[in-house]
């Protein structure tokens, strides 16, 4: 006598499969970095990332160079800006406060919001085929005059 039972395979539980898959995902990295149309010609992921970061930094510095920030208290000539690229392609900018710019933070934040409100379209980062939100911290050189 033979039985079909020897031909049966163990089917893993769906919770076990899901846990295994979730553990395998690197949540700290994206498959594709955010991009702008200018970097579509690049195919290497690292080159696209470097180009995108350089594009952000240059574009922010050019837009802020039109303003001269008058700050009552001594401040650095470089600020760090948190740049968030959301899954819906919206971009937001927030200055990171440090001791040197504590009193001028609101002025810098106001100018950032005003000057960068019409920032060019940025494609979101991609993780496993889906758009995701990413955040970058960029040092931005400012032209600051002290009173």
Percent of the chain with pLDDT over 70: 73
Per-residue model confidence as pLDDT tens digits over 91-141:
988 888 766 666 666 777 777 788 888 888 889 998 888 899 999 898 887
What pLDDT band is residue 71 in, cutting at 50, 70 and 90? very low
Give me the residue label for tokens 């395979």.
Answer: 9
Residue 52 has pLDDT above 80, yes or no: yes
DSSP helix/strand/coil, 14? helix
**Residue 99 to residue 7: CA distance in whole angstroms:** 70
The pLDDT confidence band at residue 84, using thresholds 50, 70 and 90, is: very high
| CB 49 within 8 Å of CB 125 | no
DSSP of 29-73: --SB--B-GGGTT--SHHHHHHHHHHHHHHHHHHHHHTS-EEESS
């Amino acid at each position: 006598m033979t039985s079909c039972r020897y031909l049966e395979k163990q089917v893993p539980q769906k919770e076990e499969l899901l846990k295994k898959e979730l553990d395998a995902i690197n949540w700290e990295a994206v498959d594709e970095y955010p991009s702008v149309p200018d970097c579509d010609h690049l195919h290497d992921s690292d080159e696209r990332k470097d180009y995108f970061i350089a594009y952000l930094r240059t574009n922010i510095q050019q837009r802020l160079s039109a303003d001269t920030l008058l700050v009552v208290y001594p401040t650095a000539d470089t600020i760090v800006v948190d740049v968030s690229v959301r899954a819906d392609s919206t971009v937001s900018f927030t200055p990171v406060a440090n001791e040197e710019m504590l009193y001028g933070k609101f002025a810098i934040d106001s100018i950032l919001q005003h000057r960068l409100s019409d920032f060019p379209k940025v494609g979101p980062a991609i993780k496993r085929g889906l758009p995701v939100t990413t955040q970058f911290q960029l040092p931005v050189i400012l032209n600051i005059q002290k009173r």
